[in-house]
Amino acid sequence: MSCLCCCVGVCRYPLGMSGGQIQDEDISASSQWSETTAARYGRLDFEEGDGAWCPEMSVEPDNVKEFLQIDLRSLHFITLVGTQGRHAGGMGNEFAQMYKIKYSRDGSRWISWRNRQGKQVIEGNRNAYDIVLKDLEPPIIARFVRFMPVTDHSMNVCMRVELYGCEWLDGLVSYNAPVGEQMTLPTYPVYLNDSVYDGAIIYRCVMTEGLGQLTDGVCGLDDFALSHVYNVWPGYDYVGWNNESFPSEYVEIMFEFDRIRNFTTMKVHCNNMFSWHVKTFRQVVCYFRSESDWEATPLTFSPVMDEKNPSARFVTVNLANHMASAIKCQFYFADAWMLFSEITFQSGTETISGLIWLIQGRTSSYVHILSASLKSVSACFLEENPTHKVDDSNTRILIGCLVAIIFILVAIIVIILWRQVWQKMLEKVSSSLKKCTVQYDTDTSPCMLSYGVKFCVPAATSTSASKSTTTTVVQDGVPHYAEADIVNLQGVTGSNTYAIPAVTMDLLSGKDVAVEEFPRKLLTFKEKLGEGQFGEVHLCEAEGMQEFMNKEFLFDISEDQPVLVAVKMLRSDANKNARNDFLKEIKIMSRLKDPNIIRLLAVCIYSDPLCMITEYMENGDLNQFLSRHEPEGQLALLSNAPTVSFNNLCYMATQIASGMKYLSSLNFVHRDLATRNCLVGKNYTIKIADFGMSRNLYSGDYYRIQGRAVLPIRWMSWESILLGKFTTASDVWAFGVTLWEILNFCKEQPYSQLTDEQVIENTGEFFRDQKRQIYLPQPVLCPDSLYKIMLSCWRRNTKERPSFQEIHRALLEIQP
Ligand SMILES: *[C@@H]1O[C@H](CO)[C@@H](O)[C@H](O)[C@H]1NC(C)=O
Ligand SMILES: *[C@@H]1O[C@H](CO)[C@@H](O)[C@H](O)[C@H]1NC(C)=O
Ligand SMILES: *[C@@H]1O[C@H](CO)[C@@H](O)[C@H](O)[C@H]1NC(C)=O
């Protein structure tokens, strides 16, 4: 799976220098000063050995030869790098003021990274302890990466580093294509060359052995003369060809892969501004090569031509499970021009690395995206590892954060102004492009992209924005507070349970936890409800639970009967952070008291594995419950199926709104509200829970991005998907979808007719708001008044969406 057009904002996971996933033997260096400053000590945020990697000699200006090399073992999409010097608890003071990056996909051809202005040198550290993060624009697709310290005078240098990104699952190693051409519109020229291609351009105008704009994760806009990127030429996002240059009537592109793969589809993002004679391809003929010979019979596909809608689109070509390590496709012109901005491949996951990806995909969640992006603004939001934080560095970090936030705001303003300024800028673009110049350069990547300003803004932007929420909590006589840090809690399943203001956290921790230890032996395992990175959720029977329950808590079950409970348990090998989060989650859960929120009953924390025992309700989750039922009416009478009346549907929806009203009053953001996360008890009572995102039953409801993150995209607001922003307003959006599920009796997945990629594209339409977004349709059973509530939950502007109070009130009015 590739994440199509939105990679850059979400693909920002630490790749394992600090986390330890990268093995010592995969870290090497040109030299080392001593055994205790060997390459393996070059891990960001590590203090082992003498505290960093240091080369044998001091680094001289004009002689960049020392390097720290990381082998990622497979191709990765790398969007961000972090560096740090040698602090060693105050003993060290060496760092790299500047550095360069080289990368390689095969270990033999090394390419120097350049930013979009063509500059190779990256500004590094100013002191030995602060972490400095730099976005790579454009990102790198590589297996090997080298950090090469650069200095302006002879000095000793030490480095600790981290790479951020995700696995490059396309497996594409290079593509060969004819160079892009220049289009002359009446007003200005449009340059359709592949400006970030990192291979060679040989004299017959062919690009070879590289990757570039067709794999950079950025899709072009509908109007090809515009660009995502500020201050580059018209046509920047596209590579385009004119039919006059191709007497054969086709453009041939050859794709080489890392190994033989089982291909399912190819997606080609094409422009379709037919009024300018630009169209998608008329036909594509693909040849496959698995060993040394090309298969004799090619695959042919003709997409439907569209002369109504000029928007750019993905054309999906079914590759029918062909096995190949190289694919050669001939794209036939449908009109004078053919413009592509991205090409992605989907192939089977039958191999071992694919399997690992699948497991990772199951077990972790979108909290990683946020945590990686948090790191990206600077180390500012990280509380871990205070060892290298000196008092005055906190101030600097704070200033760094503010500068970063201001910078992001400026970037947003710039985008808004940019469309207006664009026309004027075009007049200045006057250099003429010589067609097909002869050049050969094996060590080049002129890079001109900035992703910070395309519509999928890196999640860092939004996290920093959500950081300063002003909240008012009036709970237990607690005073108001003006600013709250949002603490992201990673639940045991690896899902993010609730985002909680830190102040509330302190309050919670100030009191005794009101739950008791439960004897583990009284739990009997029944079935597994879910699983995550750090543990599992089991359905169990508990004996004698009644004694452990609060008096105030009504449990409608007779004494001495075993009670059904959900038991979340932490794996005994979970790391310290996961344990701390688990204990925090217990504290928080123990304070949540609402008839419509699942209750924490007891815990087992005296010994491993740590467990929390929550209620479970006899009718299971609302999704399964409603799937088993039918609306009241003729049909149900005939089929003799159990029914639920419209009033009871409303009653259940009202309870969800009420539970959410309670959570939102505490500023808790649920992030995964859906019928699958609501439990049904006797008499249609509902309690909101969170089982994490790993239940097999619902795996189709979650979308896996580039290996690790799992997102319930069909329930997510546009700003959550594109900006990584989760707020009560995005919970309101999810509530609208949940309401829609209820009125459909959960017989249909939201947007079932759209693929995951199309759902994300639709999200882009919500963002652009040009009336092309698709809303979920009004369910048959649903009166206009109720559909109006749903539509209000899906308003583009978060401020215009109703609050849970308002929703709750409106639902009470509808309920007869
Ligand atoms: C692409 O065209 C632009 C605009 O003329 C030019 O500045 C740039 O060098 C070209 N890039 C390549 C790789 O040919
Ligand atoms: C390719 O994958 C498909 C679907 O998973 C499978 O049916 C087919 O057997 C695979 N082909 C080969 C040659 O392994
Ligand atoms: C190129 O396309 C245009 C528009 O479809 C057509 O009129 C022209 O004949 C084509 N030229 C060649 C060489 O095929």
pLDDT-derived band of residue 167, with 50, 70 and 90 as boundaries? confident
φ, ψ dihedrals at 644, nearest 5°: -130, 130
DSSP of 119-184: ---EE--SSSS--EEEEEEEEEEEEEEEEEEE-SS-B---BEEEEEEEE-TT-EEEEEEEPP-EEE
Give yes or no for residue 547 CB within 6 A of ligand 3: no
CA 463 to ligand 1 centroid distance, Å: 35
- CB-CB contact of 372 with 164 (8 Å): yes
Q: CB-hemisphere CA count at 13 Å for 559?
A: 1
pLDDT value at residue 404: 67
State the Cα–Cα distance between residues 390 and 164, nearest whole angstrom: 25
Average pLDDT over residues 491-498: 35
List the residue whose alpha carbon is closest to atom 4 of ligand 1. Answer: 191
State the Cα–Cα distance between residues 813 and 739, nearest whole angstrom: 16
Query: Of ligand 3's atoms, which has the minimum distance to the CA of residue 336?
Result: 2
- CB-CB contact of 465 with 401 (8 Å): no
Given a cut of 60, whether residue 91 has pLDDT beyond it is: yes
Reading the block at residue 787, the tokens are: 């559909």
Average pLDDT over residues 672-677: 91
pLDDT value at residue 574: 76
State the Cα–Cα distance between residues 595 and 604, nearest whole angstrom: 24
Q: In whole angstroms, how far apart are CA 699 and each of 7, 347, 354, 749?
A: 21, 19, 17, 12
Ligand nearest to the CA of 338: 3
Which pLDDT tens digit goes with each residue over 383-410?
223 333 333 445 555 566 566 666 666 6
- Supply the residues annotated as catalytic: 672
Reading the block at residue 312, the tokens are: 């750019």
Of the listed ranges 210-224, 403-417, 574-588, the one predicted with least confidence: 403-417
pLDDT-derived band of residue 348, with 50, 70 and 90 as boundaries? confident
Handedness of CA 394, 133, 161, 55 (dihedral sign): negative
State the Cα–Cα distance between residues 263 and 251, nearest whole angstrom: 21
Mutate to test the pocket of ligand 1, among 188, 193, 197, 428 (most ligand atoms within 8 A of CB): 193
Query: Burial level of 748, CB count in 10 A (0-12/13-18/19+)?
Result: middle
pLDDT value at residue 393: 44
Terminal-residue alpha carbon distance, the chain? 47
State the Cα–Cα distance between residues 713 and 723, nearest whole angstrom: 13
Give yes or no for residue 320 CB within 6 A of ligand 2: no
List the residue whose alpha carbon is closest to atom 12 of ligand 1. Answer: 195
Q: Fill in the amino acid letter for 398.
A: L
pLDDT value at residue 703: 67
CA 630 to ligand 3 centroid distance, Å: 58
Reading the block at residue 2, the tokens are: 């590739």
Give me the chain's average pLDDT, please.
76
Ligand nearest to the CA of 118: 1
Give yes or no for residue 323 CB within 6 A of ligand 2: yes
What whole-number percentage of the chain has pLDDT above 70? 72
φ, ψ dihedrals at 90, nearest 5°: 100, -10
Mutate to test the pocket of ligand 1, among 195, 208, 232 (most ligand atoms within 8 A of CB): 195
Give yes or no for residue 279 CB within 6 A of ligand 3: no
State the Cα–Cα distance between residues 281 and 272, nearest whole angstrom: 9
Q: Where are the beta strands (DSSP E) in 590-726?
A: 600-604, 611-615, 630-631, 643-644, 678-680, 686-688, 703-705, 709-711
Greater pLDDT, 316 or 188: 316
Greater pLDDT, 31 or 620: 31
Average pLDDT over residues 463-487: 28
CA 649 to ligand 1 centroid distance, Å: 60
From the list 369, 361, 444, 454, the residue with the least C-alpha distance to 169 is 361
Consecutive H or E run containing 499: strand 496-501
φ, ψ dihedrals at 404, nearest 5°: -60, -40
Query: Of ligand 1's atoms, which has the minimum distance to the CA of residue 193?
Result: 1
Give yes or no for residue 262 CB within 6 A of ligand 2: yes
Reading the block at residue 396, the tokens are: 């600097």
Query: Of ligand 3's atoms, which has the minimum distance to the CA of residue 246?
Result: 13
- CB-CB contact of 363 with 491 (8 Å): no
Give yes or no for residue 415 CB within 6 A of ligand 3: no
Given a cut of 70, whether residue 371 has pLDDT beyond it is: no
pLDDT-derived band of residue 756, with 50, 70 and 90 as boundaries? confident
DSSP assigned state of 333: P
State the Cα–Cα distance between residues 522 and 368, nearest whole angstrom: 35
Greater pLDDT, 56 or 357: 56
State the Cα–Cα distance between residues 6 and 219, nearest whole angstrom: 8
DSSP of 655-687: HHHHHHHHHHHTT-B-S--SGGGEEE-GGG-EE
Which pLDDT tens digit goes with each residue over 178-215?
999 999 877 778 889 888 899 888 865 889 889 998 98
Ligand nearest to the CA of 335: 3
pLDDT value at residue 543: 83
Greater pLDDT, 535 or 663: 663
Give yes or no for residue 244 CB within 6 A of ligand 3: yes
Handedness of CA 535, 539, 543, 548 (dihedral sign): positive
Average pLDDT over residues 703-711: 57
List the residue whose alpha carbon is closest to atom 7 of ligand 2. Answer: 321
List the residue whose alpha carbon is closest to atom 3 of ligand 3. Answer: 336
pLDDT value at residue 571: 80
Which pLDDT tens digit goes with each residue over 418-461?
555 444 443 333 232 233 222 222 222 222 222 222 222 223 22
Cβ-based neighbours of 91, under 8 Å, separated by 6 or more:
51
State the Cα–Cα distance between residues 808 and 657, nearest whole angstrom: 5
Of the listed ranges 305-309, 526-530, 541-545, 635-639, the one predicted with least confidence: 635-639
User: What is the bridge-based pairing of β-strands 630-631 and 643-644?
Assistant: parallel
State the Cα–Cα distance between residues 679 and 699, nearest whole angstrom: 18
Which pLDDT tens digit goes with each residue over 132-143?
989 888 889 999
Reading the block at residue 419, the tokens are: 């469309």
Consecutive H or E run containing 565: strand 563-570
Give yes or no for residue 349 CB within 6 A of ligand 2: no
φ, ψ dihedrals at 457, nearest 5°: -60, 140
Give yes or no for residue 191 CB within 6 A of ligand 1: yes
pLDDT value at residue 411: 65
Give yes or no for residue 451 CB within 6 A of ligand 1: no
Average pLDDT over residues 750-776: 87
CA 422 to ligand 2 centroid distance, Å: 49
What whole-number percentage of the chain has pLDDT above 90? 36
List the residue whose alpha carbon is closest to atom 3 of ligand 2. Answer: 321
CA 19 to ligand 3 centroid distance, Å: 56
pLDDT-derived band of residue 587, with 50, 70 and 90 as boundaries? confident
State the Cα–Cα distance between residues 494 and 368, nearest whole angstrom: 9
CA 311 to ligand 3 centroid distance, Å: 22
pLDDT-derived band of residue 721, with 50, 70 and 90 as boundaries? confident
Average pLDDT over residues 684-701: 69
pLDDT value at residue 436: 29
Beta bridge pairs of residue 342? 269
List the residue whose alpha carbon is closest to atom 8 of ligand 3. Answer: 336
CA 195 to ligand 1 centroid distance, Å: 6
Cβ-based neighbours of 422, under 8 Å, separated by 6 or more:
226
Ligand nearest to the CA of 247: 3
State the Cα–Cα distance between residues 356 and 811, nearest whole angstrom: 45
Domains belonging to the chain, first-starting first, are: 7-167 (2.60.120.260), 172-348 (2.60.120.1190), 353-425 (no CATH), 439-473 (no CATH), 502-616 (3.30.200.20), 619-816 (1.10.510.10)
pLDDT value at residue 470: 28
pLDDT value at residue 704: 60
pLDDT value at residue 698: 63
pLDDT value at residue 401: 56
Mutate to test the pocket of ligand 3, among 243, 245, 332 (most ligand atoms within 8 A of CB): 243
State the Cα–Cα distance between residues 42 and 53, nearest whole angstrom: 4
Give yes or no for residue 763 CB within 6 A of ligand 1: no
- CB-CB contact of 201 with 439 (8 Å): yes
Given a cut of 80, whether residue 627 has pLDDT beyond it is: yes
Give yes or no for residue 305 CB within 6 A of ligand 3: no
pLDDT value at residue 541: 87
3-state secondary structure of 357: helix
Give yes or no for residue 265 CB within 6 A of ligand 2: no
State the Cα–Cα distance between residues 458 and 412, nearest whole angstrom: 12
Average pLDDT over residues 610-639: 83
Handedness of CA 17, 20, 21, 22 (dihedral sign): positive
Q: In whole angstroms, how far apart are CA 673 and each of 342, 496, 739?
A: 33, 12, 10
- CB-CB contact of 586 with 512 (8 Å): no
Query: Of ligand 1's atoms, which has the minimum distance to the CA of residue 197?
Result: 13
DSSP of 5-20: GGHHHH--EE-STTTS
Given a cut of 90, whether residue 147 has pLDDT beyond it is: yes
Ligand nearest to the CA of 444: 1
- CB-CB contact of 49 with 41 (8 Å): yes
Reading the block at residue 205, the tokens are: 């105008």
Q: From the DSSP assignment, how many helices (H) and strands (E) are in the chain?
A: 15, 33
- CB-CB contact of 20 with 724 (8 Å): no
pLDDT-derived band of residue 118, with 50, 70 and 90 as boundaries? confident
Average pLDDT over residues 460-467: 30
CA 809 to ligand 3 centroid distance, Å: 63
pLDDT-derived band of residue 763, with 50, 70 and 90 as boundaries? confident
Of the listed ranges 16-25, 88-97, 451-460, the one predicted with least confidence: 451-460
